[in-house]
Structure 1
Amino acid sequence: MSNRQAEIAAALDVTPPFKDDAAVAKEVERRKAFIKHTLRSAGLKVLVLGISGGVDSSTAGRLAQLSVEELRAETGDGAYRFVAVRLPHGEQHDEADAAAAMRFVAADEEATVNIAGAVKGLAGTVSHLAGLSEARRDFVTGNIKARIRMVAQYTIANAYDGLVIGTDHAAEAVMGFFTKFGDGACDLAPLSGLVKGQVREVARFLGAPETLVMKVPTADLEELNPGKPDEHAHGVTYAQIDAFLHGEKVPAEAYDIIVKTYDKTHHKRALPFVP
């Protein structure tokens, strides 16, 4: 392990590789305990999370549902509950995966907020988008989608006096692969420190369908590149990112991309900057 690998892994509090199923089970219990403690410490009883149809939100959502079920059993208070929110932009091309994720999560309450109108309304009132190239405008609008989705989640959480869950984990954090004040905004992030492969291991342990566990990850924010795989945006694979974070040797090109991207995206992990 290089000094930079060790430094970055420590900064992101990366979880060591799981040795066996017992280690996965222990980690699941630890993260459920974290969710329950966070909710009770806030004096609140509702959790909210957007479910996209990918493995990250499916895993975080199922952990949230199990946590509130345990809280109800432990306290006798039926007010503890989890709200899973579908947040499509018009028609979702992977609708079948999103529906499968909702069935797996089995939330106490389900809601759908189609963000297309809000995104179109905001984009249409900002004149600064007009002079951009088609590709740049598509990219900026993608970030509007991510931020509108978080506004919707916080609106529901505010209505119920609850907390919003985020799905960030170490493999995304190291690449700065999230939208500031969009999917990067949340009250608690129960997957933090896990690499992508570990998120899949947890999902599989919780009983997620293999199609969700191994689904090709995509932020799916760009109209010009619908379903664009994360790895195409990264320039490296999640297997390489995971190996880097766990101190294993990776190809020099992948090493350089990960380190340079980590340094370049520092501003996204250290907000706000202060004197």
Structure 2
Amino acid sequence: MSDLQSIIVNEMKVKPEINPQEEAEEIIRFIKNYVQSHSFIKTLVLGISGGQDSTLAGKLCQIAVEQLRNENRECEFVAVKLPYGKQQDADEVEDALQFIQPDHIYTVNIKPAVDQSVSSLKEAGINLTDFQRGNEKARERMKVQFSIASNQSGIVVGTDHSAENVTGFFTKYGDGAADIAPLFGLDKRQGKQLLIYLNAPQHLYEKVPTADLEDDKPQLPDEEALGVTYKDIDDYLEGKQVPSEAKSIIETHYVTNAHKRELAYTRYTWPKN
């Protein structure tokens, strides 16, 4: 591995290979330990998109809260459907929820709020691009989840994993904002391995990954947006050699999007020259 790849692999905590059962049990323990360490937590809140990441995080959260209740610790899992108007893959969202079996389900249509925000900005002379409107959707979805968590003494669970984190393929203070990120340390193929272990429906973990935020490019595959395949990203994070072009793209994403992985700087934390 190159020096930069070694640094990135160490930072992203991805193992060269995993035992799915052990990995699932470790994540469940983490979720339970976090809840048990914070007396105010009574709910875990997560938006369910019908994709691999939220399906996996949701199932692990549901298992965790069921175990907590068996140990006499009050806690429930709240799944949230967050369509922007009519969702094209709504059937897969329902399939994911059927698999997860969450304690509670809420549906919040974010379209009125997003459209009003975009309209208000336009009135102020700020015309958002389609890509920027996509970020508005991601941030509105996260705002809703935090509102529910605040209302129900809960925390928001994030779906960020290391293959997403290394490329910065998330909206800053949108889907990148959460109280806990239990999937960090996994790459995309390892998340799939966990869903297979958990007996998820095949079409959910075989679904083409897409953020689906842009109106002009509905259901745009992540790999097309990133310019690199998840296979190459996963290989890179597992310390394997990848084609030079893929390596360059991954490392460029990592450097360019470093600000997304950092908290707000203060005058005391910014590196001085």
* TM-score, structure 1 normalization: 0.94
Partner residue, 2:237: 245
Report SS of the residue matched to 2:163. Answer: helix
Partner residue, 1:30: 26
Partner residue, 2:7: 7
Aligned residue identity for 2:120? T
What CA RMSD, in Å, does the superposition of the two structures yield over aligned residues?
1.3
Q: Report the Cα distance in structure 1 between the residues aligned to 2:49 and 2:123, rounded to whole angstroms.
A: 29
Q: Is the 8 A contact 1:170 1:192 kept in 2?
A: yes
Q: Report the Cα distance in structure 2 between the residues aligned to 1:210 and 1:129, rounded to whole angstroms.
A: 47
* Percent sequence identity over aligned pairs: 47
Deviation at 1:129, TM superposition (A): 8.1
Deviation at 1:130, TM superposition (A): 5.5
| 1:202 maps onto 2:198 in alignment | no
| 1:121 maps onto 2:113 in alignment | no
Q: Out of 66, 70, 75, which is 2:67 matched to?
A: 70
Q: Report the Cα distance in structure 2 between the residues aligned to 1:167 and 1:259, rounded to whole angstroms.
A: 22
Q: Is the 8 A contact 1:2 1:247 kept in 2?
A: no
Structure 2: gaps (5+ residues): 268-273
Q: Out of 37, 41, 61, which is 1:41 matched to?
A: 37
| 1:84 maps onto 2:76 in alignment | no
Q: Out of 169, 179, 185, which is 1:193 matched to?
A: 185
Q: Report the Cα distance in structure 2 between the residues aligned to 1:60 and 1:237, rounded to whole angstroms.
A: 22
Deviations 1:209-236 (A, max 9, x none): 1000110000000000000000001100
Q: Report the Cα distance in structure 1 between the residues aligned to 2:253 and 2:4, rounded to whole angstroms.
A: 13
Report SS of the residue matched to 1:172. Answer: helix
Report SS of the residue matched to 1:255. Answer: helix
Q: Out of 251, 255, 273, which is 2:265 matched to?
A: 273
Q: Report the Cα distance in structure 2 between the residues aligned to 1:13 and 1:204, rounded to whole angstroms.
A: 22
* TM-score, structure 2 normalization: 0.95
Report SS of the residue matched to 2:106. Answer: strand
Report SS of the residue matched to 2:80. Answer: strand
| 1:58 maps onto 2:50 in alignment | no
**Shift >6 Å, 4+ stretches:** none
Deviations 1:70-96 (A, max 9, x none): 000012x4x311000000000000111
Deviation at 1:273, TM superposition (A): 2.1
